[in-house]
Structure 1
Amino acid sequence: MSKIPRIRIPPEVRQYVFQRDKLQCQSCGKTGLETDLTIDHIIPLARGGQNDMSNLHTLCFECNRRKTDQLDARFRRHFGI
């Protein structure tokens, strides 16, 4: 499995993902009013994930840092991994 190169996520894609996820961390549920939110790859690029909107979700800074390059077990069933 080769790593997909990281690309900068365009502002309009970031805005779309934030709106789709209702400005809420998809791991702990905190909102943008409670914490800083980031965009994260569900399947990390280091594990063969794509730079695709369907592979992006909103996480708070703390959850993103804790996740590192691991797969979130809650998403495994959705992606068959």
Structure 2
Amino acid sequence: MPGSTAHRNTTTRDRHRAAIRRGKPPCALCGEDIDYTLPHLDPGQFVVDHIIPLARGGSDELDNKQPAHRECNRLKSDKTDAEMAKAAQQAGPRVFVTDRTW
């Protein structure tokens, strides 16, 4: 059904968060370490990302979850990891202007 979301059991959600947090793994999206002590809403805070987003038919099971920074997860949105990798490849390397002549 378009626009519907999966019903989430908060006990299961908390158990999955604890299982992922226990190993203190790095962010699955950017590869950087996660500070698991950061407060709620901090961009670097630990959140759980769905590998295949719920909006794309992914399950709410532990094997479809991975650790992420809040900001990385926000940027990923409802894309799959493969879509993220393809977009990054198409974008090419970033070019920063460090010297200007006016």
TM-score range, shorter chain: 0.7 to 0.9
Structure (1 or 2) with the larger CA radius of gyration:
2
1:11 correspondence with 2:14: yes
Relative contact order higher in (CA < 8 Å, ≥ 6 apart): 1
RMSD in angstroms over aligned alpha carbons?
A: 2.6
Structure 2 unaligned runs (5+)? Answer: 39-43, 84-102
**1:12-31 superposed matches below 5 A:** 12-20=15-23, 22-31=24-33
* Residues 43-52 or 27-36, more deviating: 27-36
CA distance in 2, matches of 1:15, 1:26: 16
Contact 2:28 2:67 in 1 (8 A): yes
Cα-to-partner distance string for 1:2-54 (whole Å, 9 max, x where unaligned): 7551413532221102234x331111122232821100111011110001000
Structure 1 unaligned runs (5+)? Answer: 75-81
Percent identity among equivalent residues?
34
